[in-house]
Structure 1
């Protein structure tokens, strides 16, 4: 239990349904959907689409999603891949011939076909209850009437104005400036798109005038996208991957997401007695950071489109983790493994919902970098993701850019099972940090017995680009110890990531937690 003399949040407890996400209006919308008789899938879709209006720099209908969900009354975990591929006419050979070593972040070449909306339509039709017209109504209303810009959103908006180009500056700036705290952000063009989807389903987005708007805008920006790329875009069901960490089973979405990285990282950490360490001390941070370097190096080598990911079994094999753990010096930092050119990002939204029947949903949804590619469709203002910047241009690499191929994604939803029972749907935002965040989340719960909110609140660190970024929540003495071990230590400009989670307790009560690093909350009824 937290010290009530100090600032903080208590876990939210509810008996009928609960949502935790990064914006209060989305959490409230999800609960409203549950109270109207919708299930957790319905609530997650309604909340997620609204997050694209509340946090447009992080997500939107021009992006992708991954979903894990467990049907009510079942402990089976199902996975849905809502990510899209590169346009059929694009190939790494072309970019290499132009002298490019990486896919340019703010270019049409980085825009993969958005598949989140197809995934939402698929789930609403096959798993949900209320139908897309009901689920999109809240976002349509807010897009027309406006949403007041929240504090964390305003800070991120102001820091990324330069990402926006062309028509996007008209849709997402006021007089050329970022929207400040409390300013009303309206998106009437997106409201119209959502009305068409509510009426016509996926075809309202992937064919006709809306698709033409996206294709024409991208081609004018130098892209090779065509109407067939959008018409053929489709989500697909897949099989989760998992591994055990002490008494829990960590369940992740399979490639092309990077969830396997979190599993490898936990497998490496299992070779050390983390529970015997100070939870907020330098030794734990050192071991985690060294293990993360190795796990992320494996990610960069192996993870890709599922049709091109041939080394997943090797990556998740226990003997692989043992061999990697043996490379870690408990007293000295290793040089960072050579990183590849794949870009990493900081911006994502996450939503988790559990309903009164026990259906649990873990959904993550993103346009990749802040404001994605910075390209918005000229008529409707749909911000296009730059997920293609996650491709490699190295010839023969599993993640090499090819037409129709999906890039390695950083976004990963998570779930925990205990004694074969789904107990914790959760997610950690923060781009490349996410596997490290998933591993620390699990370790905080298992090794140190923290409650959900304390697990999320605890200070964070992340070895990124040869620098160990250590939040201000750690004392200077810890940073000094890490520096003496050979780490290059810095305090990051902004807090690392964000997280939300729900615990389904054995007594049926739901316990929710939401990260104070974001504007969101957990709400229940």
Structure 2
């Protein structure tokens, strides 16, 4: 239990249903959907789509998503891969010949086909109760009329405004500069897209005038995208990966997401007595940093499009974790692995919902970098993700860019199972931090006895590109001790990531938690 003398927030408790996400309006829409008899899938779809308006730098209809679903009456978890593919005419050799060592992040070369809308339609068909038209009905007026810009969103918008180009500047900088707190922002063009989606289903987005608008904008900017590429976009139901973690079972999305990285990192840390350490001390932060370096290095070698990932079993094998753990010096930082060949980011949204029937949904949705590629369609203002920058241009690498391939993704939803029962859908935002964040969050709860809100509130650190980023929540003494161990320590300008969770208590009640690093909340009824 938190110290009530100090600032903070209590977990949110409810009996019938709950939604937790990074903006209050999205949480409210989701809870209203639940109260109307909608399923957790309906609530997650409504809230996620609204977040494309409330947090446009983070996500939108031009992005991708991954979903984990625990259906009502079952403890088996399903995975939905809503990540898009590279266009059929993609040519990595041409980029190499043009002198590019990496995929340029702000060009159509980095724009993969948007997969999220197809996933929303598919999720609605299998697990929705109300129908997509009813789910979108309360969302469309927000897009039409606008919402006030929230504090964290205003901060992020100002940081990334120079990313926006051409039509995207007209749509996302209607004031001529980044908005101030409370400025009203609307996307009436996308309101029309949502009306067509409600009426026509996926065809309203991937075919006809909306698709033509996207193709025309991309080709005018030099892209190779075609109407056939958009029409062929399709998500996939697949099987989650999982493993024992701290006396529970951590369920992750399989490649091309980086969920295996979280499982590997957790397995590496089982070789150390983490629970016996100070939860906010230097030794725990050091061991996590070293485990993260090794796990992420494995990720960068092996993870890719599921049709091209060949070493997944190796990453998940206990002996792999044991060999890597043996490389860690408890008193000294190792050198950082080689620089990543693919781009990483910090921008995404996460939403989780649980309904009265016991369905749980864990959904993550992103346009990759802040404001994605910085490009948008002319008529409807759909911002394009630059997820293709997650490919490498290294010839022969499993994650090499290629026609019709999916890039390695940093975004991952998660669920925790205990004694065979799903007890918590959760997610941690923050680009490549997410795998580290999953391990840290579960460890806070399982090894240090924190409730979900306290586990989210707790300070974070992350070994990122040769620098150990340590939030201000740590003491100066801890930073000094980490520096003495050989880490290059920095206090990040922006807090590390964000998280949301809903714990499903065996007594039948729900406990929601939401990260104060974002603008959101958990709401129930």
TM-score by length of 2: 1.00
Partner SS, residue 307 of structure 2: helix
User: How far 1:281 sits from its partner (Å)?
Assistant: 0.1
Assess if the C-alpha contact under 8 Å between 1:213 and 1:379 holds in 2: yes
Partner SS, residue 306 of structure 1: coil
User: How far 1:254 sits from its partner (Å)?
Assistant: 0.1
Partner SS, residue 242 of structure 1: strand
Aligned to 1:102: 102
C-alpha distance in 1 between matches for 2:136 and 2:235: 19
Aligned to 1:379: 379
Assess if the C-alpha contact under 8 Å between 2:246 and 2:443 holds in 1: no
User: How far 1:127 sits from its partner (Å)?
Assistant: 1.3
Partner SS, residue 45 of structure 2: helix
User: How far 1:338 sits from its partner (Å)?
Assistant: 1.1
Aligned to 2:10: 10
Assess if the C-alpha contact under 8 Å between 2:372 and 2:386 holds in 1: yes
C-alpha distance in 2 between matches for 1:138 and 1:51: 13
2:243 paired with 1:243: yes
Task: Provide Cα deviations, 1:474-493, integer angstroms capped at 9, x if missing partner.
Answer: 00000000000000000000
Equivalent residues in 2 for 1:194-209 (5 A)? 194-209=194-209
C-alpha distance in 1 between matches for 2:137 and 2:495: 33
Equivalent residues in 2 for 1:261-276 (5 A)? 261-276=261-276
Question: Which deviates more from structure 2 when the two are superposed, residues 403-412 or residues 126-135?
Answer: 126-135
Equivalent residues in 2 for 1:353-364 (5 A)? 353-364=353-364
Assess if the C-alpha contact under 8 Å between 2:65 and 2:365 holds in 1: yes
Assess if the C-alpha contact under 8 Å between 2:75 and 2:421 holds in 1: yes
Question: Which deviates more from structure 2 when the two are superposed, residues 311-320 or residues 174-183?
Answer: 174-183
Aligned to 2:340: 340
Question: Which deviates more from structure 2 when the two are superposed, residues 94-103 or residues 392-401?
Answer: 94-103
Aligned to 2:294: 294
Aligned to 1:225: 225
Partner SS, residue 448 of structure 1: coil
Aligned to 1:215: 215
Assess if the C-alpha contact under 8 Å between 1:207 and 1:230 holds in 2: yes
C-alpha distance in 1 between matches for 2:174 and 2:98: 36
Aligned to 1:21: 21
Partner SS, residue 139 of structure 2: helix
Aligned to 1:325: 325
Task: Provide Cα deviations, 1:346-386, integer angstroms capped at 9, x if missing partner.
Answer: 10000000011110000000000000000010110000000
Aligned to 2:367: 367
Assess if the C-alpha contact under 8 Å between 1:13 and 1:509 holds in 2: yes
C-alpha distance in 2 between matches for 1:137 and 1:372: 27
Assess if the C-alpha contact under 8 Å between 1:300 and 1:339 holds in 2: no
Equivalent residues in 2 for 1:12-411 (5 A)? 12-411=12-411
User: How far 1:470 sits from its partner (Å)?
Assistant: 0.2
TM-score by length of 1: 1.00
Alignment RMSD, CA only?
0.6
Assess if the C-alpha contact under 8 Å between 1:414 and 1:426 holds in 2: yes
Question: Which deviates more from structure 2 when the two are superposed, residues 240-249 or residues 366-375?
Answer: 240-249
User: How far 1:246 sits from its partner (Å)?
Assistant: 2.7
- Mark the runs of 5 or more structure 1 residues left unpaired by the alignment: none
C-alpha distance in 1 between matches for 2:236 and 2:341: 28
Aligned residues: 525
- Mark the runs of 5 or more structure 2 residues left unpaired by the alignment: none
After the TM superposition, list the runs of 4 or more consecutive aligned residues in structure 1 that deviate by more than 2 angstroms.
none
Question: Which deviates more from structure 2 when the two are superposed, residues 333-342 or residues 461-470?
Answer: 333-342
Equivalent residues in 2 for 1:450-461 (5 A)? 450-461=450-461
